């Protein structure tokens, strides 16, 4: 899935909102209070429920430009990329890309079927999130 959207907000504002969410999640999951500078190559275990967890690895962070991370479970590997382009001092373009690799034939078939259904919902929700960030400026 890939979404490219021009926003009427500065790149710094969008990036700061993403980072607030990332740093909050890390603090909730690990108890560690990190700064932006400590994020590159940081990894932690995120618990979703009693029987579900994943390893989150932050692969690339460039202030106001890029945030890439990988979520690994026993069944899948998700790579998420946020790339931000400054258009001017009040506008930016956000490129969001999400890829998934499933392990095992049955998991691949299950994910392919669900991907068709959930892809639309995920895109719609992501676009709503972008609009909410833009409106909060």
Check pLDDT > 70 for residue 8: yes
Average pLDDT for 10-16:
98
Check pLDDT > 80 for residue 59: yes
Tokens of 19: 């980072």
Tens of pLDDT, residue by residue over 84-124, are 999 999 999 999 999 888 887 777 777 776 777 777 788 89
Tens of pLDDT, residue by residue over 125-136, are 999 999 999 999
Nearest to 18 by CA among 3, 39, 2, 45: 39
- 2-6, 9-13, 30-34, 113-117: the lowest-pLDDT one: 113-117
Task: Tell me which H or E stretch contains 12.
Answer: helix 11-30
Instruction: Give the Cα separation of 133 and 114 in Å (integer).
Output: 28
CB 14 within 8 A of CB 22: no
Instruction: Give the Cα separation of 39 and 69 in Å (integer).
Output: 10
């Amino acid at each position: 899935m890939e979404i490219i959207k021009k926003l009427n907000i500065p790149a710094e504002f969008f990036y700061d909102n993403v980072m607030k969410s990332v740093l909050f999640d890390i603090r909730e999951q690990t108890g560690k209070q990190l700064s932006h500078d400590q994020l590159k190559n940081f990894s932690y275990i995120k618990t979703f429920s009693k029987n579900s967890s994943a390893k989150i690895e932050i692969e690339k962070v460039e202030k106001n430009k890029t945030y890439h991370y990988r979520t690994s479970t026993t069944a899948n590997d998700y790579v998420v990329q946020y790339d931000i382009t400054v258009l001017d001092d009040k506008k930016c373009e956000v490129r969001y890309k999400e890829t998934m690799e499933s392990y095992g034939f049955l998991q691949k078939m299950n994910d392919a079927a669900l991907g068709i259904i959930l892809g639309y919902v995920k895109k719609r929700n992501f676009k709503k999130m972008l609009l909410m960030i833009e409106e909060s400026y």
